[in-house]
Structure 1
Amino acid sequence: MAHPNLTLIGALRQAAQNLREGAHYAWGHHGSCNCGHVLQTVTHLSKEEILKHAHTGIGEWTEIAEEYCGVTNAPAYMLISRLEAIGLTPPDIHHLEYLNNKEVLQRLPGGFRWLKKNVREDVVVYFETYAAWLEERLLNYIEIPKPEEAVPVFA
């Protein structure tokens, strides 16, 4: 399960905003698909650069993630390592590409429904819902001291 953190939350929100604002989207293109847009956000690589690196591996993001080996340092695997560095696991990468994490889908505005992996609007709502859920989980980890327990700033 994805590790909630500010970098991942921000990447999902930025990718959603980029898509909402008309960034090129093509599910069959490694640099412009769901994972490709998150990678564009975290690596600052262009869709063409991501495509070039991705073609050093075999298959879709899901297959590349499943075959990932942190020792090889091949360019495609460097991209997967970036997704893992922001808190995603191989199953999370699969869910991100196919928009099918049931825990995210249950939190969609309007309730549970299946989304289409290659529909821009579905990707945007999935990314935004995923980010909101991760933010909620992250806030659950934070303990805010009660006023009587707070350490005075000026002592």
Structure 2
Amino acid sequence: MNMAKISLKLIEAFRKTVKKLKNNAPYQWGHMGACNCGNLAQELTQLTKAEIHQFAMQKSGDWNDQLIDYCPTSGYPMDLMISKMTEAGLTIDELKHLERLSDPKILQKIPFERREKMEKNRKEDVILYMETWADILENEWLSQNPVTLEEISNKNIPSKVLA
């Protein structure tokens, strides 16, 4: 399975989403704008949870259903929003996994005892999943773009500043 196209923008979006969730941003798994994908979508699209929810209600189904039915040329606001997320580097499969916290590549980095107790609709588990994913992306980015610690502080690379 392909991993996201790695970019500092995507890593930063994960880090900001995690920070907001840790600081009590609204989280509700059954709400299209405040669930796992909804919280990341807020960061990547700069839409509010209410706007995302409103867009989602124009079609039927949860995030998974809408990702299955995704058509980049439909003109539906939800499909345009999903397009923004894929343009940021995410794949449709990764978004489906995010909603269910089910990507094997991410889960294998979480200790077994913790991984076995994870639930798709528990905020702490969403935070752990997104933090782990951001770490994977960041490590891959750094392996492709070697930089020194001095360069990181001088360039203010968001992934290291937000970590």
The alignment's TM-score, normalised by the length of structure 1, stands at 0.86
Which amino acid is the alignment partner of residue 96 of structure 1?
L
Which among 41, 45, 48 is matched to residue 46 of structure 1?
48
Q: What does residue 65 of structure 1 align with?
A: 67
Output aligned runs, 1:20-39, within 5 Å: 20-39=22-41
Partner AA of 2:63 in structure 1: W
Whether 1:94 aligns to 2:96 is: yes
Letter in 1 for 2:78: A
**Letter of the structure 2 residue corresponding to residue 113 of structure 1:** R
Q: Distance in 2 between matches of 1:5 and 1:142?
A: 11
User: Are 2:133 and 1:117 aligned?
Assistant: no
Report how many aligned residue pairs link the two structures.
143
Equivalence for 1:149: none
Q: Alignment RMSD, CA only? A: 1.5
Deviation of 1:143 after TM superposition, in Å, equals 5.4
Pick aligned residue for 1:140 from 137, 140, 143: 143
Partner amino acid, structure 1, of 2:144:
Y
Structure 1, gaps ≥5 residues long: 145-155
**2:131 corresponds to which residue?**
128
Shift of 1:134: 0.8
How much does 1:129 deviate?
Answer: 0.5
Separation in 2, partners of 1:33, 1:72: 23
Moved more, 23-32 or 51-60: 51-60
Aligned to 2:151: none
Q: Is the deviation greater in 22-31 or in 82-91?
A: 82-91
Instruction: Report the Cα offset of residue 57 of structure 1.
Output: 2.0
Q: Distance in 1 between the 2:30 and 2:53 partners? A: 11
Look up the match of 2:83. Answer: 81
Which moves more between the two structures, 57-66 or 11-20? 57-66
Q: Percent identity between the aligned chains?
A: 37
Q: Give distance in 2, aligned partners of 1:83 and 1:54.
A: 14
Cα distance, 1:14 vs. partner?
A: 0.8
Instruction: Tell me the TM-score normalized by structure 2.
Output: 0.82
SS in 2 for 1:94: helix
Find the aligned partners of 1:122 and 1:96 in 2 and give their Cα distance.
11
In our comparison, the structure showing a higher alpha carbon Rg is: 1
Equivalent residue letter for 1:31: G
Deviations 1:112-135 (A, max 9, x none): 614211001000011010000011
Partners of 1:57 and 1:78 in 2: CA distance: 13
Structure 2 residue 30 is matched with structure 1 residue 17: no
Unaligned runs of 5+ in 2: 148-163
Equivalents in 2 of 1:62, 1:84: separation in Å? 15
